[in-house]
Amino acid sequence: MKQVFGRAESLKDAAFHYCPGCGHSIIHRLVAETIDELNIKEKVIGVPPAGCAVLAYNYFDIDMGEAPHGRGAAVATGLKRALPDRVVFTYQGDGDIAAIGTAETIHAANRGEKITAIFVNNGVYGMTGGQMAPTTIVGQITTTTPGGRNPDRDGIPIDLSEMLALTNGSVYIERTSVDSPKNIIKTKKAIKKAFQVQMAGLGFSLVEILSPCPTNLKMSPVQASKWISSTMTTHFPLKVIKDETGNLGAQPPSE
Amino acid sequence: MIGEAAMRAGCRFYFGYPITPQNELTEYMASGLAALPDGVFIQAESELAAINMVLGVSMAGKRAMTSSSSPGISLKQEGISFLAAQELPAVIVNTMRGGPGLGNIAPAQGDYFQATRGGGHGDYRTIVLAPGTGQELAELTRKAFEYADRYRIPVIILGDGMMGQMMEPVEFPEPIDPASLPLKPWVLDGAKGRHSRIVKSLILDTSAMEEHNWKLYRKYQIIGDEIPEVERFLTDDAQLVLLAYGTASRIAKGAIKRVREMGLKVGLLRPKTLWPFPKKSLLEMSRRVSDFLVFEMNTGQMLEDVKLSLEGRRRVHFYGRPGGIISTPDEIAKVINNIYFKEGLESEE
């Protein structure tokens, strides 16, 4: 019988610890499938964050080096500069990349570091128990915004991807979501393209993925996914934010 | 001197952020590494970024260095704690200035505690080397990279603004080709033909965390046995021995020469390793010395290690000036005279 579905080669035989309905499990799989498809399992190095995905190294069957909170882009810069022919990616949450690690991320992008960032935006600090994130939506209730995020006091959600697009060294930035099968397929394509950008030596690439956190949103998995499309995307529209990849990924002309 | 010595030690990666008084080193690395085909220099956006770039290079198994001065070293402590926890080699140069806070840009030794007690969070140590001459800047820089790799530990080179800006003739060791350095069996370079590897410091299980702490502790014990290093200057017949390192030790030598002319039997014990502190050399000397005088460019930090080592066996005097004040040899000579002729040496009481 032909096997039509299985675990990605780049994932270990380990059960994810993530909460039911959490987007990390899906995104891990998409990244692992991409590594398999690009045949880079033996030359890829991942940099997991502080946050729920810190344990990513328990699931990915690839070399991984943990960075201090927010410093993923700097650690990845060191790895990539030391090993320019390897593929280096960071896997970061919104607090990691868009709050404590803002400077590292913007400057890595501005230098055009040939690294790829997988930016998982769930609008909340997950591992620490649901505090306001830099990407928490206006009005959204968290443990530190019990009356909802107040723009006068807390500012509005930061548009990190749009900010990164302004840097000269960024080449490809897309915002996607894993709230539906259709968007999961789009996310996979975006991740693959982001890795290809790096492999072609073009510059900095990033995929921002809107991801459900039912536990801290205090919703069912289905409600949390619906909340992404109904509410989160009003501030964070799904779109290609920057694409200067030229003909990358286009089919070569037939002979 | 440190920059040239680092490149000759096979260091091809330097990351730094501007801060006085150590920009000469950053600038030297910028031009020096640009001239090497495999050299990588990045002026980082912050001290945090610089130390974490070092961490990334170190994970990849290559020799990397960063440098800064006191306030910048405080910012690097997060990364230094991670380097210690993840057992990654790195060389960090601290050209100390007056503090706390922004302080000033004059030479000082106020960061002794920070350097020798770990500096960042958690139960760890870093090797701390204190060069006293230009020649030693070159030699200890080479050793710093060797120790970092041998023990998989961050190594601090602790100097000050005066050490950083002095000019002395130096004979550099022969350059090492980085490609000739032995391969490290733990690096992250893509899991080709082997199992995947993890470099991490998160150890949620308390007994596993305890074991990791003890493992680090055992390593520190071995380092404590193997690398303490001192210079002894006119100590053979000395009744009073000064303890000083770095710039302070040069001033101390000047003072000792003056009081020797007056016939006072005074010498200097100069730690070249501040951590591990050369406790054995100090104890050995305490058997035939009456008093010790610790001289530092701070309000008394190495003083504590001297007292801890001697455990009350000998009287320990202290003289120090913080804030970037550089004492003169005459000033120290007066302190020595005072001990001899006013307070009296302990053994003569």
What chain B holds in terms of domains, given with CATH numbers, is 2-189+215-226 (3.40.50.970), 231-348 (3.40.50.920)
Q: Supply the pLDDT for residue B98.
A: 96
pLDDT of residue A253: 54
Whether B54 sits inside 8 A of A78 (CB atoms) is: yes
Interchain contact, A74 vs B53, CB within 8 Å: yes
In a domain, A253, yes or no: no
Q: Give the per-residue pLDDT at B64.
A: 98
Q: Encoding tokens for residue A237? A: 């529209």
* Closest residue by Cα to residue B294 from B274, B323, B264, B324: B274
Tell me the mean pLDDT in the region A77-92: 98
Please name the residue of chain B whose CA is at the shortest distance from the CA of residue A53: B202
Residue A161 lies inside a defined structural domain of this protein: yes
For residue range A194-224, what is the model confidence (pLDDT) as tens digits? Answer: 999 999 999 999 999 999 999 999 999 999 9
Does some domain include residue A248? no
A67 with B15: Cβ contact below 8 A? no
Q: With beta carbons less than 8 A apart as the criterion, state whether B53 and A74 touch.
A: yes
Interface test with B, best of A10, A63, A97 (most B CBs within 10 A): A63
Chain A nearest C-alpha distance from B62 (Å): 7
Interface A-B, measured as beta-carbon pairs within 8 A, has a size of 135
Alpha-carbon B30 to chain mean position:
23
Q: Do B190 and A63 touch (CB under 8 A)?
A: yes
Residue A87 in domain: yes
**Which chain A residues are Cβ-neighbours of B29 within 8 angstroms?**
none
CA distance B67 to B156: 9
- Give the pLDDT mean for A28-56: 96
Q: Which of A66, A107, A111 sits opposite B199 (nearest CB)?
A: A66
Domain limits for position A214 = 24-243
A107: nearest CB among B45, B86, B192: B45
Q: Which two tokens stand for residue A170?
A: 């960024």
Chain B residues within 8 A of A64 when measuring between CB atoms: 188, 196-200
User: Does A3 map to a domain?
Assistant: no
Judging contacts by C-beta atoms under 8 Å, the chain B residues touching residue A57 are: 198, 200
Q: What pLDDT is attached to residue A4?
A: 87
Residue A233 has pLDDT above 50, yes or no: yes
Residues in chain B within 8 Å Cβ distance of A67: 52, 55-56
Report pLDDT for A251: 52
Contacts A61 to B, Cβ<8 Å: 191, 196
Contact B184, B61 (CB under 8 A): yes
Provide the token pair at A71: 């410093």
- The distance of B194 to chain A (nearest Cα, Å) reads 9
Please answer yes or no on whether A66 and B188 come within 8 Å at the CB atom. Answer: no
User: How many other CB atoms are there within 10 angstroms of residue A2's CB atom?
Assistant: 3
The Cα–Cα gap between A37 and A40 comes to 8
Instruction: Report the C-alpha gap between A228 and A178 in whole angstroms.
Output: 9
pLDDT in tens, chain B (349 residues): 899 999 999 999 999 999 999 999 999 999 999 999 999 999 999 999 999 999 999 999 999 999 999 999 999 999 999 999 999 999 999 999 999 999 999 999 999 999 999 999 999 999 999 999 999 999 999 999 999 999 999 999 999 988 888 889 999 999 999 999 999 999 999 999 999 999 999 999 999 999 999 999 999 999 999 999 999 999 999 999 999 999 999 999 999 999 999 999 999 999 999 999 999 999 999 999 999 999 999 999 999 999 999 999 999 999 999 999 999 999 999 999 999 999 989 875 4
CB < 8 Å & 24+ apart, contacts of A9-16: A9/A35, A9/A36, A9/A41, A9/A61, A10/A35, A10/A36, A10/A41, A10/A44, A10/A60, A10/A61, A10/A62, A11/A59, A11/A60, A11/A61, A12/A58, A12/A59, A12/A60, A12/A61, A14/A58, A14/A59, A16/A59
Buried b / exposed e over B153-180, threshold 16 CB at 10 Å, is bbbbbbbbbbbbeeeeeeebeeebebee
Contact call for A107 and B44, based on CB within 8 A: yes
**Mean of pLDDT over chain B:** 96
A200 belongs to a structural domain = yes
**Min Cα–Cα distance to chain B from A225, Å:** 30
Question: What percentage of chain B exceeds 90 in pLDDT?
Answer: 96
Say yes or no for a CB contact (<8 Å) between B198 and A104.
Answer: no
Q: Let me know if residue A208 belongs to a domain.
A: yes
The predicted pLDDT at position B117 comes to 97
Q: Is A66 on the interface with B (CB under 8 A)?
A: yes
C-alpha to C-alpha distance for A195 and A206, rounded to whole angstroms: 9
Which amino acid would we find at residue A171?
V
Instruction: Compute the distance between CA of residue A95 and CA of residue A130 in angstroms, rounded to an integer.
Output: 11
Owner of token pair 């991740």: A191
Band of residue A255 on the pLDDT scale cut at 50, 70, 90? very low
DSSP B79-144: HHHHHHHTT--EEEEEEEBS-STT--SSB--TTHHHHHT-SSSSS---EEE---SHHHHHHHHHHH
Q: How far off is chain B from A57, nearest CA to CA, in Å?
A: 7
Check CB contact of A80 with chain B, cutoff 8 Å. Answer: yes
Among A55, A68, A83, beta carbon nearest to B79 = A68
Predicted local confidence at residue B140, as pLDDT: 97
Structural domains counted in chain A: 1
In angstroms, rounded to a whole number, what is the distance separating the alpha carbons of residues A182 and A228? 14
Smallest CA–CA distance from A54 into chain B, residue: B202
CATH number at residue A94: 3.40.50.970
pLDDT tens for residues B190-218?
999 999 999 999 999 999 999 999 999 99
User: Nearest CB to B199: which of A65, A68, A81?
Assistant: A65
Nearest by CB to B197, from A43, A63, A71: name it. A63
Determine the pLDDT at residue B23.
95
Max CA separation in chain A (angstroms):
63
The answer to whether residue A97 neighbours chain B at the CB level (below 8 Å) is no
Q: CB of A45 within 8 Å of any CB in chain B?
A: yes
Look up residue A219 and give its DSSP letter: S
Q: Which of B48, B59, B200 is nearest residue A79 as measured by Cβ atoms? A: B59
Count other Cβ atoms within 10 Å, centred on residue A248.
Answer: 15
* pLDDT score for A237: 98
What gap in Å lies between CA B279 and CA B20, rounded to an integer?
33
Nearest to B337 by CA among B301, B298, B278, B293: B293
Residue of B nearest to A58 (CA): B198
| Interchain contact, A54 vs B192, CB within 8 Å | no
Q: A45, B202: Cβ pair inside 8 Å?
A: no
- The verdict on residue A187 lying in a domain is yes
Judged by CB atoms closer than 8 Å, whether chains meet at B64 and A78 is answered as yes
β-bridge mates for residue A124, sequence order = A132
Yes or no: say if A203 and A197 are a contact pair by the CB < 8 Å rule.
yes
- Read off the pLDDT of residues A161-188 as tens digits, 9 standing for 90 and up: 999 999 999 999 999 999 999 999 999 9
